[in-house]
Amino acid sequence: MTTNENKKKIILAVDDDADLLELNVIALSAKGFEVLEAGNGKEAMEWLDRKGDEIELILLDIVMPIMDGFEVLEKIQKSEKYRKIPVIVASNLESDADRQAAFALGAKDFFEKVKMNPSSVAEKIKEIIEKK
């Protein structure tokens, strides 16, 4: 019989860059997380509809096809069910306006992809989840 303590924490990683998504999956899996993968915002919302009550955190890209990260953040903020899930934004957008928009929509942290190391992002995710 497993308890919640033994159950792997689930992270939803959302990025249209398949290589970066895979690097994040590897880094998060190495930290003991189960990772759900989405290539755009629409897929992310589908995962939330299926497993939203089990997802501990979302790692979210902003610039994606079909539905971008800002749209996902808006939908999460409007949802009583999902707004408690912490979101970390990882994006190539580096303007203060984009950063402020992400935080205004509920993001807990914001990383520029060019400066991020998947292993350090995984460590930050672990810290945020342990503080929940």
Give per-residue pLDDT as tens, 69-106: 999 999 999 999 998 999 999 888 778 888 999 999 99
**What's residue 26's pLDDT?**
94
Nearest to 81 by CA among 107, 103, 50: 50
Domains of the chain: 10-131 (3.40.50.2300)
Among left, alpha and beta (phi > 0; psi -120 to 50; other), residue 7 is beta
**What's residue 113's pLDDT?**
82
CA atoms within 13 A on the CB side of 108: 20
User: DSSP secondary structure string, 34-63?
Assistant: EEEEESSHHHHHHHHHHHTTTEEEEEE-SS
Give per-residue pLDDT as tens, 41-60: 999 999 999 999 999 999 99
Order of strands across the sheet that contains 10-14: 34-38, 10-14, 55-60, 87-91, 109-112
Q: How far lies 128's CA from each of 19, 72, 122, in Å? A: 24, 20, 10
Q: How far lies 74's CA from each of 68, 87, 102, 106, 127, in Å? A: 10, 12, 9, 8, 24
